[in-house]
Amino acid sequence: MKREDAVARAKILKALANPIRLMMVDVLSRGDCCVNDLRPLARVNQSAISRHLAQLKNAGIVVERRAGNRVMHHLECPCILQALECTVGVMHKEAARKTRQAEAARKP
């Protein structure tokens, strides 16, 4: 892998490295939303939601479009959901490893 590719990938992963932004991606996977639709995800103000969206936009994960006087946000690359699904597999593997480790530690 070239350094430029690694830097670009790290930028995308960095944008996803926040629970609120992960929840936003999840909501956007079900359809376009405006900022007010995303506010209930976390107890943060509208400007914080906008900053999180800006990071997702800067990474190319989310784009926006105007719908009258509303700005709608759209998941630009739904394939990112596959990467997020992979994290579930990693979590399951890690939980199984820890369970095996704990069982081994209990054996006399």
Position 2 scores a pLDDT of: 94
Residues lower than pLDDT 70 in the chain: 108
pTM of the model: 0.82
pLDDT tens across 45-74, in order? Answer: 888 899 999 999 999 999 999 988 889 999
Token readout for 8 is 């670009």
- The pLDDT assigned to 39 comes to 83
- pLDDT for res 42: 77
Annotate 60-90 with b (16+ C-beta within 10 A) or e (fewer). Answer: ebbeeeeeeeeebbebbeeebeeeeeeeeee
